[in-house]
């Protein structure tokens, strides 16, 4: 018989490296028509990081995502970057990108100030325009300013910047220190069906509430959460590298190392928890790794809730769950006999 259960798990996760420096650098070049090019040394891994970095540069310059072309991934031509690791791209590289865009914007403001007859501090960049704060009717198209800057004034608007999250080393004896600058938080709730005759676990539904600071691109956050959950399901129920007594890996292929497929996916419902981190670009933190962190815990708690057995080693394969169910039945029987005597 299939028994339904639900399990909850929450977590915290840091953004960036543990204590060690993990800087990023970025270069933003505004073209003569007000579009821009962003140079970054990070690499896209399919998570959409370049799209997010483009949006951060665009936001600072007051233009749209499509107005920024992002170039990445060549050590000859790009500024250094610690890379796509530790959920750090949006936060660390994002901060460097925002600062680089701010510097390029500074050149535009200087040029626009003389064109508009105001001081640079009185200007803001919005909706592809450079306008006077609280007097937006007085404005110039960003393309007009960029053209003027480069072709008339001879001041091409280029900015470069670096950023590194501040940390404090941990005391080797007590571990006290500030290993990271910021953390994200999340909760996932899993609903599962456990077949008490076969031990098979089916994940029906996962509700995931994740904090990522400001969601620079909510669609990509949702994508990350769905992907992380897929990975978490494999970790919870299926995947395991097995070694023989001589230390040779015995299942090095996808025929006997089982990963979840689209058919194993539950219904996933994602909520982005509102939060704002003043140390991140426009309040953003990160979301990559944390999406995979609480999934297994939530599923295992749901199994416990469904059939009353605690599987304390991963993965909770059907064999393991069934054995635990049988042992529980056996214990109950012995207990009943013992109690009756």
Partner 1 sequence: MPGKKRVAEKQRQRTLEALRTAEEVARLPAVVPPVAYPIETLVPEARQQTPAVGQRATRVDGRLHGLGQTKYIDDLAFPGMLHAKIKRAGIASARIVRIDTSAAEAMPGVVAVLTGAEIPVNSFGPSFQDQPVLAHERVFHAGDGVAAVAAVTEQIAVEALEKIVVEYEPLPAVLDPLEALKEDSPQVHPPHGNIYTTKVILKGDVEAALAASDRVFEGRFRTQMVEHVSLEPHAAIAEWDPNGRVTIWSTLGRITLARSDVARTLKLPMNRVRMVGTIVGGNFGGKNEITQEPVLALLSKKTGRPVKGVYTRGEEFTSTTTRHPIVMDYKTGVTKEGKILARKVRLVLDGGAYCSWSETTLGKAAILSAGPYNIENLQVEAYVVYTNKTMTGAMRGFGAPQVCFAYESHMDDIAAALKIDPLDIRLLNVFGEGSVSPTGQVLHSVVVKESLLKAAEHFGWREARS
Site for partner 1 in 148-167 (CB under 8 A): none
Nearest-5° angle of CA 212, CA 43, CA 23?
Answer: 65
Of the candidates 271, 318, 323, 328, which one interacts with partner 1 according to CB under 8 A? 271
Q: Should residue 257 be labelled a site residue for partner 1 when binding is judged by CB under 8 A?
A: yes
Give the span between the Cα atoms of 73 and 79, in whole angstroms.
Answer: 9
In angstroms, give the least distance from the CB of 155 to partner 1: 24
Q: How far is the CB of 160 from partner 1 (least distance, A)?
A: 16
- In the region spanning residues 45 to 74, those forming contacts with partner 1, defined by CB under 8 A, are 45-46, 48, 50-51, 54-56, 58-59, 62-66, 68, 70, 72-74
- Nearest-approach distance from CB 198 to partner 1, in angstroms: 21
Q: What does the DSSP 8-state code read for residue 73? A: -
Q: Based on CB atoms, which residue is closest to partner 1, 144 or 277?
A: 277
The answer to whether 95 touches 281, Cβ cutoff 8 Å, is: yes
Euclidean distance between CA atoms 62 and 39, whole angstroms? 18
Nearer Cβ to partner 1, position 155 or 319?
319
Half-sphere exposure of 214 (CA within 13 A, CB side): 17
Cα–Cα distance, 225 to 319 (Å, whole number): 29
Mark residues 274-313: x for contact with partner 1 by CB under 8 A, - for none.
Answer: xxxxxx--x--x--xxx-xxxxxxx-xx--x-----x-xx
Q: How far is CA 121 from CA 125, 133, 192, in A?
A: 11, 9, 57
Rule CB under 8 A: is residue 267 a binding residue for partner 1? Answer: no
Q: Tell whether residue 83 is a contact of partner 1 (CB under 8 A).
A: yes
Binding of partner 1 at residue 176 (CB under 8 A)? yes
Size of residue set near partner 1 by CB under 8 A: 129
Query: What is the spatial distance between Cα 273 and Cα 284, in angstroms, rounded to a whole number?
Result: 12
Which 10-49 positions form the footprint of partner 1 (CB under 8 A)?
10-14, 17-19, 41-46, 48
> Judged by CB under 8 A, does residue 172 bind partner 1?
yes
Looking at the annotation, which residues are catalytic? 289
Alpha carbons 338 and 341: distance in angstroms, whole number: 5
**Between 247 and 339, whose beta carbon lies closer to partner 1?**
247
Nearer to partner 1, 200 or 271 (CB): 271
Rounded to the nearest 10 degrees, how much is the dihedral formed by the CA atoms of 78, 83, 87, 88?
-50
**Pairing between strand 129-132 and 135-141?**
antiparallel
């Amino acid at each position: 018989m299939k028994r339904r259960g639900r399990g909850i798990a929450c977590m915290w996760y840091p953004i960036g490296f543990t204590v060690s420096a993990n800087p990023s650098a970025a270069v933003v070049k505004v073209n003569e028509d007000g579009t821009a090019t962003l140079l970054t040394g990070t690499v896209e891994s399919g998570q959409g990081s370049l799209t997010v970095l483009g949006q951060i540069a665009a936001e600072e310059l007051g233009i749209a995502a499509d107005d920024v072309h992002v170039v990445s991934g060549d050590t000859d031509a790009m500024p250094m970057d610690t890379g796509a690791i530790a959920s750090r791209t949006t936060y660390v590289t994002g901060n460097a990108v925002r600062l680089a865009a701010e510097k390029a914007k500074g050149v535009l403001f200087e040029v626009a100030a003389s064109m508009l007859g105001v001081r640079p501090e009185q200007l803001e960049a919005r909706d592809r325009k450079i306008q006077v704060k609280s007097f937006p009717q007085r404005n110039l198209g960003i393309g007009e300013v960029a053209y003027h800057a480069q072709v008339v004034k001879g001041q091409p608007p280029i900015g470069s910047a670096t950023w590194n999250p501040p940390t404090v080393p941990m005391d080797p004896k007590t571990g006290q220190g500030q290993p990271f600058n910021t953390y994200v938080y999340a909760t996932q709730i899993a609903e599962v069906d456990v077949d008490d005759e076969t031990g098979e676990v089916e994940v029906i539904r996962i509700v995931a509430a994740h904090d990522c600071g400001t969601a620079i691109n909510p669609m990509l956050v949702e994508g990350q959460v769905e992907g992380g959950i897929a990975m978490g399901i494999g970790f919870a129920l299926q995947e395991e590298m097995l070694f023989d007594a001589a230390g040779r890996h015995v299942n090095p292929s996808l025929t006997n190392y089982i990963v979840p497929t689209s058919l194993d996916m539950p219904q996933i419902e994602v909520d982005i928890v509102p939060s704002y981190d003043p140390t991140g670009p426009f309040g953003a933190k990160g979301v990559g790794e944390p999406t995979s962190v609480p999934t297994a815990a939530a599923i295992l708690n749901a199994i416990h809730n469904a059939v009353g057995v605690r599987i304390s080693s991963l993965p909770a394969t059907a064999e393991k769950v069934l054995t635990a169910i049988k042992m529980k039945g056996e214990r109950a029987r012995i207990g009943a006999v013992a109690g009756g005597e």
